[in-house]
Structure 1
Amino acid sequence: MFGTSGIRGEVGDEVTAELALSVGRALAAEGYERVVVGRDVRESGAMLVDALTAGVRECGGDVVDVGIAPTPTVARGVDWLDADAGVVVTASHNPATDNGIKLWSPSGQAFDGERREAIADRVENERYDLESWDGLGTRRHHEGLLERHVETITDTVAGPDTGVESALEGLDVVVDVGNGAGSVTADALVELGASVRTLNAQQDGRFPGRPSEPNAETLADLQQLVGATDADLGVAHDGDGDRMMAVDERGEFVPKDLLLALFARKAATDGTRVAAPVDTSLAVDDTLEHVGASVTRTAVGDVYVAERATEDDVVFGGEPSGAWIWPDETLCPDGPLAACKLAAMAAHEGSLATLVDDLETYPIRRTSIEVDDKAAVMDRVEATVRERDLEVDALDGVRIDHGDGWTLVRPSGTEPVVRITAEARDPERAEALFEDACGIVRDAAEEATPEAE
């Protein structure tokens, strides 16, 4: 029922009011007595929130409804409002046809595997504790959470020795909200003294301005505007504001791994670690090596990065998809916080383009191979590489560390394909590793295909 980012799918098919009702019932029946609920801008969200809150109340739980808000605002609000759990009805960067449900703990961390399994078990087996008429929970609406998020971000970014209103004075930032819920970013930047222009700032769950996911292809308008004006940088969010990507003053999209490296270098000190997924570039490792820090790799998915970020010496967690986590602040990916921290770097440490150009980049190759049986193919791939006595990490797919490069063979979670990635510091070595990995997968796919009678 749960994927790595909660429940997500097409409305009316995978995601229904019946499902939302069941999740609400399961939360209260599992002992979460006070639940903060918010949603992104999708029209279907209102229906799903009504159903979910009805389920919570039907099993005796109380609901604090904060309305439309970014995911990190709701996640932080669980603690701020002294609640036991939080729910965001959102499909994040998915298209308008989709919606979903993501659950949060008071630390700001998404529900871990054990908590997700407990909720799924109650839903699948309809194990609820329905209350009688005089035991039903309440639902009240709460305002002010967006303002508190803005205040928290500005206090964090300005620091104790700088006036909030002048922390980013003279900086010109373009914020592409993507028609989503991420207005907190523009408000916080203005409070910090920056000049702000917005793109796609009107909330519209159809996402007419651009597709919800911010990447090099979807941010063409932002790149053009920043490059054609005197803006110092541009930032962009997905539909619920947990992801953040950036454009430098030249109007060039900042590569995802390099953005991760910038944040990681700023947070890390000698002897600390940064959590990042198995598909993260060597650029992050090499950047951290200069400050005496290292990368600890996780499965792909910000929920796994957040889990690793709970360890004492992990000072930052990032996923190249645009999820950035500062565990001392919150264990939720906080897009508005990331945007303001990046703006502060550009204001005080050199232009964003200069910061990016200072980082090493390496050739990386990617492809996908269609297969009939992903599990069988992956079993054969792992057996093959272990026979070669290579350094293998099977945390998420099969990752091989070659010292001067790495390869990753990983099954898609949604398609009948196996994805192959290879990177090395030398272009010829990257090509050789890539071709070798492709050959291993093709051979495994051929062996896993039953012969026709």
Structure 2
Amino acid sequence: MSLIKSISGIRGTIGGKVNDNLTPLDVVKFASAFGTWLQNNKNKKDLTLVIGRDARISGGMVSSLVTATLQGLGINVVDLGLSTTPTVEIMVPELKADGGIILTASHNPKQWNALKLLNEKGEFISGENGAEMLAIAESEDFNFAEVDDLGKYETRDDAFDIHIQQILDLPMVDVEAIKAKKFKVVLDAVNSTGGIAIPMLLDKLGCETVKLYCEPNGQFPHNPEPLKEHLGDICELVKKENADFGVVVDPDVDRLALIDEKGEMFGEEYTLVAIADYLLKNKNGVAISNLSSSRALRDIAQNHHSEYFASAVGEVNVVTLMKEKNAVIGGEGNGGIIYPDLHYGRDSLVGVALFLTYLAKENKTVSELRAGYPSYFMGKKKIELTPEINVDDILAKMEKEYQNEEVSTIDGVKIDFENNWVHLRKSNTEPIIRIYTEAKSQEEADQLADEIIAKINSLI
């Protein structure tokens, strides 16, 4: 079963059985539910939605289904065509639309697609709103428009230009300083829409772009999640081209990974760390990430006499806490940069521009920049439990077991020790506890996970 219905959207594999996969009928049902939810919650008759898609093979088909469904409800559609998640997020308020749908399965392989749902601010809908939408989908209580009231359809081809110009206009992006350096950048866009948007940005910043997998045809040449084991080709090309660094984005361009001039991974966790370092050097404030992100961000914030807070895992939770704390910068350790002076969404384009500014001003190589940050190593393991075991009880026992340490229970149980941490999160679908650790060495991180697994087993 590969259809995942969550509060933030609908994700599944193309083809197969209705209700088990993301079939055309499922696409129509959930597009109808979201459109109906908007109509129920807006005190106006004439609604407009912005849609855009990444380059995956099923995108055209899914886009046609979503567009026709929304028009059938009487909702106007502005179609950006091939786009990025942050670009659609920018364009919803830019066009004063009532919401948006991004057709992308993010870092999932090519057989997947999804409908990601945005409110009128261009931000992911809340958990409460998502639950209401799913209830409508379950009831199939849809009321489609009569022929004279069908929604209008228009396309826009200027969305990337608008998005990029807003980035160039940011005070913390120093266009002239970047242009003076004439950086040479290798880009791996995994044959999706980053291959259109990122070169446009780099060109405006006076950089030379060496393109690798930048043809937006949806044929992903490697696993599209930007992890070290998938990125051997760009690591080699950065060295071969004698480039200043490499940029890797996922298919919908909301995650940013960097490669240093030696062809080594900068570390996805450290994308956010470096950009926060730049921003907090210039303005004291608050930095936010989630509980499973690196402690390095906390260290950097403290170095700059700024504050750090951690949210529950999930972009919606990060954004909620950023607004509450009026954060200067936030994001997730997977390379997701959220810069509120632009918008409240993960955005690789603004991440590239801010990183380039910092690199230009520091007058260091990327590897020298990385060497200045504390080094942490992460481990990820899991413990599989039998169905009769109450996972919540186990987590409560772990909280009590480590009550003398710094413990957070806003999302599972996170235990902060002096030199390392462990985060325990239960699966929503299986009797599994996922165990995330971080320490000063990989061996220590893995050893901590093994110790925690042993402790859990002793409590069962």
| TM-score > 0.5 by shorter chain | yes
Superposed CA offset, 1:218-276 (max 9, x none): 11111111123321110011111111111011111111222221122222367622111
| Correspondence for 1:248 | 260
Q: Secondary structure at the match of 1:360?
A: coil
Structure 2 match to 1:21: 28
Following TM superposition, by how much is the alpha carbon of 1:81 offset from its aligned partner in structure 2, in angstroms? 1.5
Q: Which amino acid aligns with 1:115?
A: N
CA distance in 2, matches of 1:342, 1:4: 32
Partner of residue 321, structure 1: 334
Tell me whether 1:201 sits opposite 2:204 in the alignment.
no
Once residues 330 and 7 of structure 2 are traced to their aligned partners in structure 1, the CA distance between those partners, rounded to angstroms, is 16
Q: After the TM superposition, which of the residue ranges 432-441 and 53-62 deviates more from structure 2?
A: 432-441
What does the per-residue CA deviation read over 1:361-416, in whole Å, with 9 as the maximum and x for residues that have no partner? 13544322222339723421322431552332122221112244321112245665
Asked if the contact 1:168/1:344 (under 8 Å) is kept, the reply is no
Amino acid corresponding to residue 290 of structure 2 in structure 1: P
Report the RMSD for the aligned CA atoms in angstroms: 2.4
Paired residues for 1:101-180 under 5 Å: 101-156=115-170, 159=173, 163=176, 167=179, 169-180=181-192
Deviations 1:92-149 (A, max 9, x none): 1100111001011233321111221221111111122322222221112222112222
Helix, strand or coil at the partner of 1:206: coil
Shift of 1:429: 7.2
Shift of residue 169, structure 1, vs aligned partner? 4.0
Matched, 1:422 2:437: yes
Gaps of 5+ in 1: 448-453
Deviations 1:285-337 (A, max 9, x none): 11211101222111222232122222243111111112110011111111122
Secondary structure in 2 matching 1:95? coil
Tell whether the 8 Å contact from 1:4 to 1:303 is kept in structure 2 after alignment.
no
- Separation in 1, partners of 2:185, 2:441: 36
- Aligned with 1:314: secondary structure? coil
Does the 8 Å contact 2:8/2:117 carry over to 1? Answer: no
Per-residue Cα deviation, 1:14-61 (whole angstroms, up to 9, x for no partner): 312222222322233223511001111122122211221222122221
SS in 2 for 1:156: coil
**SS of the residue aligned with 2:206?**
coil
Counterpart of 1:366, as a letter, is: K
For residue 77 of structure 1, what is the amino acid of its counterpart? M
Cα 1:268–1:6 change in 2 (3 A) is: farther
**Secondary structure in 2 aligned to 1:286?**
helix
**Percent of pairs with identical residues:** 30
Q: Does 1:228 align with 2:225?
A: no
Q: Is the partner of 2:100 in helix, strand or coil?
A: strand
Asked whether the equivalents of residues 398 and 456 of structure 2 are also in contact (C-alpha less than 8 Å), the reply is no
Instruction: State the Cα distance separating 1:216 from its structure 2 match.
Output: 0.8
Go from structure 1 to structure 2 and tell me whether the alpha carbon gap of 1:126 and 1:98 turns closer, same or farther (over 3 Å shift): same
Change (3 A) 1:198 1:370: same
Change (3 A) 1:283 1:388: closer
Instruction: Give 1:426 shift.
Output: 8.1
Residues 75, 106 of structure 1: 8 Å contact kept: no
Mark the runs of 5 or more structure 2 residues left unpaired by the alignment: 40-46
Q: Whole-Å Cα distance in 2 between the matches of residues 144 and 247 of structure 1? A: 30
Which of 174, 177, 190 is equivalent to 2:203?
Answer: 190
TM-score by length of 1: 0.90
- 1:434 corresponds in structure 2 to 449
Whether 1:291 aligns to 2:304 is yes
Aligned length: 442
* Contact 1:227/1:251 (<8 A) preserved: yes
Say whether 1:261 aligns with 2:269: no
1:94 is paired with a residue whose SS is coil
The residue type paired with residue 13 of structure 2 is E
The AA in structure 2 aligned to 1:311 is: E
Distance 2:102 2:138 in 1: 21
Q: Which amino acid aligns with 1:309?
A: M
The aligned counterpart of 2:12 is 9
